[in-house]
Each structure stands twice: as C-alpha cells, then as structure tokens.
Amino acid sequence: MTPRILFLDHVGVLGGGELSLLDIARHFAAGSRVLLFEDGPFRDRLEAAGVVVEVVTAPASVSRVRRAGGTMQALRGLPGVLKLARAVARRARSYDLLYANSQKAFIVAALAGRWTRRPVVWHLRDLLDAAHFGNTQRRVVVGLANRWAACVLANSEATATAFVEAGGRAEIARVVHNGIAPEDFVEVDRAGVEALRDSLGLRGAPVVGVFSRLAAWKGQHVLLDALASLPEVHALLVGTALFEEEAYAAALRRRAEAPGLAGRVHFLGFRDDIPALLHLVDVVAHTSTAPEPFGRVVVEGMLAGRPVVATRAGGVLEIIDDGMTGLLLAPGDAGALARALHDLLASPEKARRIAAAGQAVALERFSLSRMLEQIERHIEEVLNAIK
Ligand code: UDP
Ligand code: GLC
C-alpha cells in the first residue's frame, strides 16, 4: 500500500532541495500532502504536478533564524517553532509518516512526530560543517535527529559523514544521492537552443555557464576572475539570489561591468529552461568555494552531454571521476579554472570524450527511478519497524 506521507519544507522558492522534493512528492502523491512554511513558486510547481499542498506560514521569528545564528536567535525562534509544530501535529494523525526536507522543517517535524507518535524521516541536504553552519544550529538539529529521527537520508556520503562528525548517530544515516529525470536533459530541441543563442547575441562565441543560485559560497565570482584571462569567452550566470544574498548578487553585477568583462557576463536570473541553456553552453562550471552537499547541476550538466568543471570537495567527489567524467579543481582557484576552461575550449575532442563519459555515468548512477526505489525501501523499513 502507498504510504500516506506528510512532507514538510520551510521555503516556497525553488532551490535544489525543493526541485528534488518535487520529484519525490509527485511519486508518493496519492494520499500525501506537502506542507510549506512559506508560499511561493514551489507551491505552483507541486500543484501542477498533482500534489496536494498547504501553506502554514512560519512566524517571522522563525524565518529570521539564520544558519550561523547563535543561541539567543534560536531561543527567540522557539515559540514560533512550537506554534508550527502544533499546526503540524494537528494534521499528522492523518498520515503514516512525517518527511522533513529541510533543517527548520525537521525541527518542527521532530516535535510534532514525538507528540503524535508518527515516525520522522529527515532528508538531509546540507553539509553540517563549520563552513556552512553555526555550532548552535548543528547541536540542535543533530541532537533532535539522534533522539527522534527514525532515519536520516543524506544526499551524499559527504553529507552523511559531516552528520556523523557533528555527533549524529551513524546507524540512522542512509545515503540517497539525488536522482534526476534524464529525459528532460539528454535531448532538447536544437532549433530552440540556436534561437536562444541568437537571442542572447552569442552566435559563434565560446560560452561557459554556471547554473546556481547567486550566493557567496556558490562562487560565481571565481568564474568572473577566471574570465579576465579568457578574453573571447562569454559567461552565463543562471540563477538568482534565493536566500538573502542580494548584496553578493549586486557585487557580482558591479564586477561584471568592469573593463575587460563588460558585455561578456550575462545574468539570466532564475530560469525554467535549464536543459536548453545547458545545451547552449560549451562548458558547465560548478564553482562552489565551500563543499557542495551534492550538486544537482553537476549531474544535469553531465546528462546534457556537456563537459563539467567542478570544485573538488563534498558530494561532487562522488559524482565526477577527475579527468575521466569531468574535471575537478581546488575550491576558489580562478587560475586553475581559467586553464581548465581554456583546455576544454581548445580541445573539442577531449571535451567530447569527457562529456560522453560523464553522460554515461550520470545516466547509470543518478537516475530518478533509482532514487525513488531507495526512498521507498527506506520508508518501508521505517514503517515496518513500528508495526
Ligand atoms: N536551477 C533552476 N533555475 C535556475 C538555476 C538553477 O531551475 O535559474 C536548478 C538547477 O537546475 C538545479 C537546482 O536549481 O536542479 C540547483 O540545485 P543544486 O543542487 O545544484 O544547488 P542548490 O541550489 O540546491 O544548493
Ligand atoms: C541542497 C544542496 C545541494 C543539493 C540539493 C539537493 O540544496 O545545497 O548541493 O544538490 O540540496 O539535495
């Protein structure tokens, strides 16, 4: 029987975690519901996919709690968390299991699950290390997980390891890499791609793309640095500042106006036509300066048959075999990025070989069906344990 799942996520925007949950919630849609703590485009995408969605808006004190925030900020958020947990608990009795897709959602789910005796699965999509989160936040979420999570699905070995290093119990952690629907990425309408290239004024130009929200740790500035020594190359920065990184985005825009770069950096904002844009570029660059928990864009670039140059850290090490299925570089090394881009643009044969090998690996190891099977199995295991 299909389990009835109450999915929880604290945001309404479309980050990688939300796009992944979209696939998962669609799969379990019968009898399930997604509860969001904020309205936004994620709601529309879920509804269009036939998923029942409800928005229970988080009190401002909860929305204000930040990744690096201290104990005081966390305490101020507590009454709001309890209020959300009560709202979730009122609904939880109609479901077999609570499935939290973000840290804030997990904190709320842990309390509601405890009160209503519903098992809680936490899909952990963040690397709980000091580069990304403050001590308070890590202590709180890991402590709750150890006591009250039936299982923690980590989006990579790197994420699972960081969870354990932060004090998490290894017995409850399971690695589930993101799976991505290949049909969206492998083949696209060629004429549409050419029209897109023309509309951006890029006919005949070598183009590199970064497909990530604009955020300091996503490292778009590293590509701008690299571009300075690649005078012919254009860059597409695809994505917007989703989580209050407007200052970084503004700094990038100013930087892109500098002599030597002006006219070669194209800010496309948030786009829904990622597959076509991937096919437009010659190389996909992943530039995160802190370890990437997983990195959907890396797999998507590979599926689209592009050579991918990525940062050697975090989950990316589980996706790319350096020199074979992509190229790996030290985080923040703009010189190495410039050399790798030059190399791939100057050696189309090499670029094609890497892209083809990357595509084969992405199709085999990161399919959506494989991820959904794994999640089904883990959910079944959790439900069997409480029978
Ligand atoms: N993405 C998108 N539109 C954009 C930029 C990115 O739909 O304008 C998607 C991208 O295709 C990928 C996701 O956002 O599926 C980003 O996921 P990733 O795991 O790479 O990073 P995250 O933002 O989750 O840290
Ligand atoms: C998070 C991570 C990203 C990962 C995504 C999907 O947003 O930052 O690396 O790919 O979740 O699990």
Distance, CA of 382 to CA of 149 (rounded, Å) = 10
Using the CB atoms, write b or e for 123-137: b if 16+ within 10 Å. Answer: bbbbbbbeebbbebb
Instruction: State what percent of residues in the chain have pLDDT above 90.
Output: 90
Distance from residue 295's CA to the centre of ligand 2 (Å): 6
Q: Under CATH, what is the fold of the domain 5-179+368-385?
A: Rossmann fold (3.40.50)
Among 217-231, 232-246, 277-291, 331-345, where is mean pLDDT lowest?
232-246
Of 14, 18, 155, 180, best ligand 2 pocket probe by most atoms within 8 Å of the beta carbon:
155
Q: How confident is the model at residue 365 (pLDDT cuts 50, 70, 90)?
A: very high
Ligand 1 in reach of 275 Cβ (< 6 A): no
CA of 293 to the centre of ligand 2 (A): 6
- In which band, very low, low, confident or very high, does the pLDDT at 60 lie, cut at 50, 70 and 90? confident
- What is the whole-number distance in angstroms between the Cα of residue 294 and the centre of ligand 2? 5
* Three-state secondary structure of 336-353: HHHHHHHHHHHCHHHHHH
Task: Name the residue of 125, 163, 243, 374 to mutate for ligand 2: max ligand atoms within 8 A of Cβ.
Answer: 125
Average pLDDT, the chain: 95
- Residue 61: is its pLDDT beyond 80? no
pLDDT above 70 covers a percentage of the chain that reads: 99
Place of tokens 């990425």: 185
**Ligand with minimal distance to 19 CA:** 1
Residue 357 contacts residue 324 (beta carbons within 8 Å): yes
Report the nearest-CA residue for atom 6 of ligand 2.
Answer: 17
Locate the ligand 2 atom nearest the alpha carbon of residue 20 and give its number: 6
Annotated domain spans of the chain: 5-179+368-385, 182-365
**Which residue's structure tokens are 């890029």?**
202
Q: How far is the CA of 296 from the centre of ligand 1 (A)?
A: 7
Whether 154 shows a pLDDT value over 90: the answer reads: yes
| Angle at which helices 296-303 and 348-365 cross, to 10° | 110
Contact present, 295 and 20 (Cβ < 8 Å): no
Rounded-to-integer distance, Cα 271 and Cα 281, Å: 15
Backbone angles phi, psi at 53, to 5 degrees: -125, 145
Show contacts of 171-177: CB within 8 Å, 24+ apart: 172/145, 172/146, 174/374, 174/378, 176/123, 176/371, 176/374, 176/375, 176/378, 177/294, 177/315, 177/318, 177/365, 177/366, 177/371
Compute the distance between CA of residue 169 and CA of residue 163 in angstroms, rounded to an integer.
8
What whole-number distance in Å separates Cα of residue 24 and Cα of residue 70?
33
Whose C-alpha lies nearest to ligand 1, atom 13? 16
CATH topology of domain 182-365: Rossmann fold (3.40.50)
The residues, ordered by sequence, that sit 6+ positions from 152 with a Cβ below 8 Å of its Cβ are: 121, 122, 124, 145, 160, 163, 168, 172, 173, 174
Residue 59 vs residue 207, higher pLDDT = 207
Taking the alpha carbons of 264, 268, 274, 275 in that order, is the dihedral positive or negative?
A: negative
Residue 68 clears pLDDT 70, i.e. is over it: no
CA dihedral 381, 382, 383, 385 (to 10 degrees): 80
Distance of CA 240 from the midpoint of ligand 1 (Å): 10
- Taking residues 268-292, report their average pLDDT: 97
Give residue 71's pLDDT: 73
Distance between Cα 349 and ligand 2 center (Å)? 31
In 3D, which of 300, 343, 351 has the Cα closest to residue 326?
351
- d(CA 6, CA 18) in angstroms, rounded, equals 15
Sheet containing 5-9: order of strands: 53-55, 33-36, 5-9, 97-100, 120-124, 151-154, 173-175
Query: What is the C-alpha separation between 148 and 142, in angstroms, rounded?
Result: 10
Quick one: which atom of ligand 2 is closest to the CA of 155?
12
What is the predicted pLDDT for the residue at 1?
A: 74
Can you name the residues that pair with 328 across neighbouring β-strands? 310
**Contact present, 111 and 85 (Cβ < 8 Å):** yes
Rounded to the nearest angstrom, the distance between the alpha carbon of 16 and the centre of ligand 1 is: 5
Q: What is the pLDDT of residues 20-59, one digit of tens each?
A: 999 999 999 999 999 999 999 999 999 999 999 999 997 8
Burial string for 320-356 (b: 16+ CB within 10 Å, else e) reads beeeebbbbbebbbbebbbbbbbebbeeeeebeebbe
Decide if 5-179+368-385 and 182-365 have a common fold: yes
Name residue 254's amino acid. R
The atom number, within ligand 1, closest to the CA of 269 reads 8
Among positive and negative, which fits the CA dihedral 225, 321, 323, 356?
negative
Token representation of residue 288: 């995160």
Nearest bound ligand to the CA of residue 126? 2
Please state, in angstroms and rounded to a whole number, the distance separating the CA atoms of residues 66 and 325.
36
Which residue is listed with tokens 């890396």?
A: 298
Q: How far is CA 360 from CA 37, 303, 348, 350, in A?
A: 38, 8, 18, 16
211 CB within 6 A, ligand 1: yes
pLDDT in tens, 290-340: 999 999 999 999 999 999 999 999 999 999 999 999 999 999 999 999 999
Q: Please report which helix (H) or strand (E) contains residue 208, including its range.
A: strand 207-211
